[in-house]
């Protein structure tokens, strides 16, 4: 059921797409140009209506179709859905009366009672009655659904679908009124009279509600249910019924009303979704020229504890469809063999025609025997069973054991297994006719909707027999099946098998027994038997080569497909034949040993006979039963066979596009493949384990060497410590000895030597102190000249006489001579102090961005332009290059032009600083004055930045497009250069993420298009860098 809805949704989607493509409707239009709902939507809307009135919860399914339906969908040549029609088969009306535990009645009862408004309850006499108050729905005690579907939501969906399908509001009310009448009819009761021979209808709420809702009086209702009219030649006779017969009459009325109402709803739906074909040029409709697709949703094979007439009809349907399915699978197998051009013989497949003959054959079939009992006046279930045992007893598929006959049961051996049937009420169910009294009752109704159902009511004929015009249920169903079979034969069928893993509808629960039963009931196992009779396993050439390449003397390269495929198949065929010969020889050896063991205990005559048999067996040639080819015994005989015969003997065939394998051949080559893969896996494992152990050995060896080195270092360190201690002791000892000796010698020196030493020390001190004082005096005197003292004049005289030792210094010859004279020509202490103060003030001005003050100070002290900032090494030119200041930059550059080639402590030139801080004005000025700076790399980049030329710095800091363009225009080749990390400018720019300008990226790629294929330091292409850093496209 669910699959049917999925298929219908798919067809509707294709049709709508075709209509939108042709311009008939817009993408948002749901209706045709005339305001009517489109046919596709109407076909889909028929599902909620039919599910409400024909589906119910069963043990295995919460939305099981209790009727079969065939939907014929018509399409135009362009794929537009033009109309559809629905045929229904065998509504399970017995569900209205009886439901087993865990099942429900039809959905519409639960949907309406759960959604009925106060007005509806007042109109239909429901009051506060609930599901538990009605006998037709409270038998099983099950009121909800396990699939979490709400009955209220489904009722609302059904009402919307009925409005969409053209059901008027009055028509919908009439249908719901009839549904409530059926519910109340199930609550009617009878009271026995005349010792149980007759009965009367109890005048209670249920009977009065049924009479009022169906449009007749209580008396008319009671008369029709408690009496039966017999039509005889002598006249009509009215016979009163007992309570059991009255209940049967009420059940017949319920089933007839509900079944007729269901047929009426199907008719209205068909009128809505069926579109008349426009006449062609020849005056005929083009229905035959349109394409159609039939969707068959029909009940599956059923077997319960008690199987009745409905189960026989359902299983009869599945037998018919299974026969077609088997033939269809067989036909597809034969067509594929012919298409592939392989050797094959006729495949026998299981045929269930004998079961179909047992059920529907004329005069001797089960349905034929049942129809006879429905036609004759004295027909009954007992007579039907007797005739059935007599006529069908000899049939191979029919079984009636002595244990079954007393209970009027029999069994039929279906394709899915043996099913036991109970024949209770088969005659009444096959007639499915409303008694004449009930027919007259419906005809007298003043409820208009009941009058519309008259054409769908199966009325009882004279004497209670079915009329000639009214066919039995079995006969009608058999004709419907034949018509369905003819439809399927004229099409290309596709089968969908639905399997449920468990009955509880739980996830992650798999019941193998239930799956096997479903496979058997759906005929899949029969189809598998048909497939296994031929070549059940097949692979396309490429897949076969990739799976079994290791079996031949080939590498993993499968480029030479035709040649390699022939070699591989030839090798496999020979191997399979060799394995078969080996197994045959083993079997022959076992047989020979058994014969020899029998010979030892046998007489002369028996030994001769056994010898003859052994000789006969040796001479007998083995035949391949599947291909009917003699199996060669030697390799020479095998090689003499042609390629196709060798393959057939081995159980495989090479087709045009596929390789076909029999089960035995498949098992053998699979075992060979597993053996080769196992051997290869062991080799790989051995190599890997050896490598793992070697790596482990190297790690242990490295760790051992390291431990040994640490221990040796520790021991050596101890030796060094001991040696140092020994050396310190020895040094202390020698020093102590020397000190004692020198002290001893000093005490013994003469006074004269002591005096000379004191004089020498005083002279040195005097000379040093004089030099320091002169230096101090020279620093505090004015800078217009040096005032020379007496020693200075002596120094000049000595200089003129040629005894000047060095620049700025004069000295005497002896120790007691004149002291050295130092002449200072550098800046004075005042100048140094003033310069230090000015440097600190300029640093303050630059930090506070007081450019004019800083430049004015540098103009006073030009040396300030050359001073580098402490800690960074930046010149004033570096600092001013961080800002777009034209005048300040030009003045600073003029004071110290050589600063353009000076690096700070990070190895940056002023042009690097300008590029880093997006300063366009200083950048252009430096490019004009010093273009070589654009190609200069940073000397000492911080961290892992990679440094680079100014273009790298600008791209790394996401400088403006003007800065990047200026650098590119100075040197286009700079876009090709990499920094110290190997990154191109485009890599550095894209790492800035969402703020990157697409124009700048485009300029870099236009300058150097190959950059799009270059990888950065991490191995990423520019596109990968852009995606990783979430660059926004413009």
Secondary structure string (H, E, C) spanning 86-102: EEEECCCHHHHCCCCCC
CA distance 719 to 725: 10
The pLDDT tens digits for 883-902 are: 888 888 888 888 888 888 88
- Using pLDDT thresholds of 50, 70 and 90, give the confidence band for residue 199: very high
- Using pLDDT thresholds of 50, 70 and 90, give the confidence band for residue 591: confident
Predicted confidence at residue 284, as pLDDT, reads 38
Q: Which residue has the higher pLDDT, 1016 or 176?
A: 176
Predicted confidence at residue 652, as pLDDT, reads 80
CA distance 999 to 527: 67
Predicted confidence at residue 31, as pLDDT, reads 56
Please say whether the beta carbons of 56 and 104 come within 8 A.
Answer: yes
Is the model's pLDDT at 473 over the cut of 70? yes
Q: What is the CA radius of gyration of the chain?
A: 56
Predicted confidence at residue 899, as pLDDT, reads 86
- Using pLDDT thresholds of 50, 70 and 90, give the confidence band for residue 265: very high
- Using pLDDT thresholds of 50, 70 and 90, give the confidence band for residue 733: very high
Q: Which residues of 458-478 are buried (b: 16+ CB within 10 A; e: fewer)?
A: bbbbeebbbeeebbbbbbbbb
Across the strands, what pairs with 652? 661
CA distance 883 to 452: 97
Predicted confidence at residue 882, as pLDDT, reads 87
Q: What is the mean pLDDT of residues 431-459?
A: 85
Q: What is the mean pLDDT of residues 498-510?
A: 81
Angle between helices 39-54 and 2-22 (to 10 degrees): 170
- By mean pLDDT, which of 57-61, 277-281, 878-882 is the weakest? 277-281
Q: Which helix (H) or strand (E) holds 641?
A: none
Is the model's pLDDT at 688 over the cut of 80? yes
- The total of other beta-carbon atoms located within 10 Å of residue 840's CB is 9
Is the model's pLDDT at 500 over the cut of 70? yes
Predicted confidence at residue 821, as pLDDT, reads 44
- Using pLDDT thresholds of 50, 70 and 90, give the confidence band for residue 938: confident
Contact partners, residue 251, CB within 8 Å, separation at least 6: 96, 97
The pLDDT tens digits for 898-935 are: 888 888 888 889 988 888 888 888 988 888 888 888 88
- Using pLDDT thresholds of 50, 70 and 90, give the confidence band for residue 940: low
Predicted confidence at residue 560, as pLDDT, reads 43
Give the mean pLDDT of the chain. Answer: 80
The pLDDT tens digits for 184-196 are: 999 999 999 988 8
Please say whether the beta carbons of 287 and 59 come within 8 A.
Answer: no
- The total of other beta-carbon atoms located within 10 Å of residue 25's CB is 15
Predicted confidence at residue 279, as pLDDT, reads 38
Is the model's pLDDT at 562 over the cut of 60? no
Q: Which of 6-20, 310-324, 463-477 has the highest mean pLDDT?
A: 310-324
Q: Which residue has the higher pLDDT, 869 or 940?
A: 869
Predicted confidence at residue 232, as pLDDT, reads 62
Q: Which residue has the higher pLDDT, 1031 or 200?
A: 200
For 281-313, the DSSP string reads TTSSBSTTTSEEEEEEE-------SSB-HHHHH
Is the model's pLDDT at 619 over the cut of 50? no
- In order of 586, 624, 821, the CA distances from 590 in angstroms are 6, 21, 130
Please say whether the beta carbons of 436 and 460 come within 8 A.
Answer: yes
- By mean pLDDT, which of 162-171, 407-416, 930-939 is the weakest? 930-939
- Using pLDDT thresholds of 50, 70 and 90, give the confidence band for residue 812: very low
Is the model's pLDDT at 345 over the cut of 70? no
SS3 state of residue 470 = coil
Predicted confidence at residue 713, as pLDDT, reads 93
Percent of all residues in the chain with a pLDDT value above 90, rounded to a whole number: 18
Where do we find the tokens 């009977």?
A: 207
CA distance 801 to 804: 8
Predicted confidence at residue 776, as pLDDT, reads 74
Q: Which residue has the higher pLDDT, 618 or 385?
A: 385
Q: Which of 621-635, 763-777, 979-993 has the highest mean pLDDT?
A: 979-993
- Using pLDDT thresholds of 50, 70 and 90, give the confidence band for residue 954: confident
Contact partners, residue 295, CB within 8 Å, separation at least 6: 4, 7, 8, 70, 71, 73
Q: What is the mean pLDDT of residues 328-341?
A: 79
Predicted confidence at residue 793, as pLDDT, reads 52
Summarize the chain as % helix, strand, coil (round to 5).
60, 10, 35
Provide the CB-side half-sphere exposure for 303 (13 A, CA).
Answer: 17
User: Which tokens belong to 154?
Assistant: 């489904």
Predicted confidence at residue 817, as pLDDT, reads 44
User: Which tokens belong to 457?
Assistant: 């009511």
- Using pLDDT thresholds of 50, 70 and 90, give the confidence band for residue 690: very high
Contact partners, residue 982, CB within 8 Å, separation at least 6: 946, 1016, 1017
Q: What is the mean pLDDT of residues 411-417?
A: 88
Q: What is the mean pLDDT of residues 110-120?
A: 91
Q: Which of 226-240, 392-406, 428-442, 973-987 has the highest mean pLDDT?
A: 392-406
Q: What is the mean pLDDT of residues 280-289?
A: 40
Is the model's pLDDT at 183 over the cut of 60? yes
Is the model's pLDDT at 860 over the cut of 50? yes
CA distance 55 to 871: 90
Is the model's pLDDT at 171 over the cut of 90? yes
Predicted confidence at residue 350, as pLDDT, reads 64
Q: Which of 92-101, 630-639, 838-847 has the highest mean pLDDT?
A: 92-101
- Using pLDDT thresholds of 50, 70 and 90, give the confidence band for residue 26: low
Is the model's pLDDT at 126 over the cut of 70? yes
Is the model's pLDDT at 326 over the cut of 80? no
- Using pLDDT thresholds of 50, 70 and 90, give the confidence band for residue 287: very low
Predicted confidence at residue 710, as pLDDT, reads 94
- Using pLDDT thresholds of 50, 70 and 90, give the confidence band for residue 815: very low
Predicted confidence at residue 462, as pLDDT, reads 38
Predicted confidence at residue 264, as pLDDT, reads 93
For 18-83, the DSSP string reads HHHHHTSS-TT--B-TTSPBPHHHHHHHHHHHHHHHHEE--SS-TTEESSEEEEEEEE-TTS-EEE
- By mean pLDDT, which of 438-452, 644-658, 669-683, 704-718 is the weakest? 644-658
The pLDDT tens digits for 100-111 are: 888 999 999 999
Q: What is the mean pLDDT of residues 55-79?
A: 86
């Amino acid at each position: 059921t669910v699959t049917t809805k999925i298929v219908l949704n798919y067809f509707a989607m294709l049709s709508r797409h075709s209509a939108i493509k042709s311009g008939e409707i817009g993408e948002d239009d749901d209706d045709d140009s005339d305001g009517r709902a489109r046919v596709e939507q109407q076909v889909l809307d028929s599902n909620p209506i039919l599910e409400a009135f024909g589906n119910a919860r069963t043990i295995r399914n919460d939305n099981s179709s209790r009727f079969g339906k065939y939907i014929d969908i018509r399409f135009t040549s362009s794929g537009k859905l033009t109309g559809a029609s629905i045929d229904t088969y065998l509504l399970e009306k017995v569900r209205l009366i009886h439901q087993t535990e865990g099942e429900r009645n039809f959905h519409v009862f639960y949907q309406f009672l759960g959604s009925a408004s106060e007005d509806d309850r007042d109109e239909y006499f429901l009051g506060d009655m609930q599901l538990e108050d009605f006998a037709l729905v409270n038998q099983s005690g099950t009121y909800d659904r396990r699939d979490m579907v709400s009955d209220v939501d489904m009722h609302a969906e059904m009402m919307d679908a009925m409005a969409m399908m053209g059901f008027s509001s009055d028509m919908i009310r009439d249908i719901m009124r009839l549904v409530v009448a059926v519910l109340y009819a199930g609550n009617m009761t009878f009271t026995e009279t005349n010792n149980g021979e007759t009965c009367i209808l109890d005048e209670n709420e249920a009977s009065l509600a049924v009479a009022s809702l169906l449009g007749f009086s209580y008396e008319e209702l009671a008369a029709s249910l408690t009496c039966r009219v017999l039509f005889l030649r002598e006249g009509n006779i009215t016979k009163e019924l007992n309570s059991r017969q009255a209940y049967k009459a009420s059940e017949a009325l319920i089933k007839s009303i509900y079944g007729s109402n269901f047929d009426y709803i199907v008719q209205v739906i068909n009128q809505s979704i069926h579109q008349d074909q426009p006449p062609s040029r020849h005056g005929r409709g083009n229905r035959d020229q349109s394409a159609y697709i039939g969707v068959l949703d029909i009940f599956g094979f059923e077997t319960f504890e008690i199987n009745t007439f409905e189960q026989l009809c359902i299983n009869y349907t599945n037998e018919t469809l299974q026969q077609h399915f088997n033939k269809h699978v067989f036909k597809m197998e034969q067509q594929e063999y012919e298409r592939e051009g392989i050797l094959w013989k006729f495949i026998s497949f299981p045929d269930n025609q004998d079961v179909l003959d047992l059920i529907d054959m004329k005069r001797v079939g089960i349905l034929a025997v049942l129809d006879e009992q429905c036609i004759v006046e004295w027909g009954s279930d007992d007579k039907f069973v007797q005739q059935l045992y007599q006529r069908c007893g000899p049939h191979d598929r029919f079984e009636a054991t002595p244990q079954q006959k007393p209970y009027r049961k029999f069994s039929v051996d279906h394709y899915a297994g043996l099913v036991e049937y109970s024949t209770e009420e088969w005659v009444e169910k096959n007639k499915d006719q409303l008694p004449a009294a009930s027919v007259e009752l419906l005809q007298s109704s003043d409820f208009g909707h009941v009058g519309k159902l008259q054409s769908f009511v199966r009325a009882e004929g004279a004497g209670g027999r079915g009329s000639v015009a009214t066919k039995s249920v079995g006969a009608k169903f058999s004709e419907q099946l034949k018509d369905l079979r003819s439809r399927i034969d004229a099409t290309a069928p596709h089968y969908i098998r639905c399997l449920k893993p468990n009955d509880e509808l739980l996830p992650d629960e798999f019941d193998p027994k239930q799956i096997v039963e479903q496979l058997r009931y759906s005929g899949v196992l029969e189809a598998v038997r048909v497939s296994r009779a031929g070549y059940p396993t097949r692979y396309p050439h490429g897949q076969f080569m990739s799976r079994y390449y290791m079996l031949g003397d080939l590498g993993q390269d499968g480029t030479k497909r035709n040649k390699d495929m022939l070699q591989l198949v030839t090798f496999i065929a020979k191997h399979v034949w060799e394995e078969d010969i080996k197994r045959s020889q083993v079997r022959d050896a076992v047989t020979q040993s058994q014969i020899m063991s029998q010979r030892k205990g046998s007489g002369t005559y028996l030994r001769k006979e056994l010898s003859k048999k052994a000789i006969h067996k040796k001479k007998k040639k083995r035949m391949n039963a599947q291909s009917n080819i003699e199996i060669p015994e030697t390799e020479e005989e095998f090689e003499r066979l042609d390629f196709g015969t060798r393959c057939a003997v081995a159980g495989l065939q090479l087709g045009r596009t596929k390789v076909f394998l029999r089960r035995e051949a498949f098992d053998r080559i699979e075992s060979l493949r597993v053996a080769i893969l196992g051997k290869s896996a062991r080799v790989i494992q051995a190599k890997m384990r050896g490598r793992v152990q070697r790596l482990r050995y190297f790690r242990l060896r490295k760790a051992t060497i390291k431990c040994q080195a640490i221990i040796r270092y520790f021991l050596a360190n101890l030796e060094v410590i001991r040696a140092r201690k020994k050396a310190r002791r020895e040094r202390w000892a020698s020093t102590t000895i020397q000190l004692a000796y020198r002290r001893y010698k000093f005490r013994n020196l003469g006074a004269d030597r002591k005096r000379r030493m004191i004089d020498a020390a005083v002279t040195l001190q005097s000379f040093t102190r004089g030099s320091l004082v002169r230096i101090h005096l020279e620093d505090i005197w004015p800078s217009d000249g040096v005032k020379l003292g007496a020693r200075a004049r002596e120094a000049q005289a000595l200089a003129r006489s040629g005894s000047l030792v060095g620049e700025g210094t004069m000295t005497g010859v002896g120790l007691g001579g004149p002291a050295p004279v130092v002449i200072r020509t550098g800046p004075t202490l005042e100048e140094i102090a003033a310069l230090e103060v000015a440097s600190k003030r300029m640093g303050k001005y630059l930090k506070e961005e007081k450019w004019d003050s800083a430049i004015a100070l540098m103009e006073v002290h030009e040396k300030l332009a050359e001073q580098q900032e402490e800690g960074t090494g930046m010149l004033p030119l570096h600092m001013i290059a961080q800002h777009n200041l034209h005048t300040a930059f030009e003045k600073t550059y003029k004071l110290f032009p050589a600063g353009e080639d000076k690096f700070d402590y990070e190895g940056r030139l002023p042009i690097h600083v300008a590029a880093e801080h997006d300063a366009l004005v200083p950048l252009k000025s430096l490019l004009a004055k010093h273009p070589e700076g654009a190609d200069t790399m940073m000397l000492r980049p911080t961290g892992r930045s990679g440094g680079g030329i100014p273009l790298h710095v600008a791209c790394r800091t996401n400088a403006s497009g003007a800065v990047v363009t200026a650098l590119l225009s100075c040197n286009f080749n700079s876009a090709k250069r990499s920094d110290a990390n190997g990154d191109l400018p485009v890599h550095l720019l894209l790492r800035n993420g969402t703020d990157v300008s697409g124009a700048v990226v485009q300029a870099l790629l236009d300058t150097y298009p190959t950059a799009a294929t270059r990888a950065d330091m991490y191995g990423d292409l520019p596109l990968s860098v852009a995606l990783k850093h979430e660059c926004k496209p413009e």
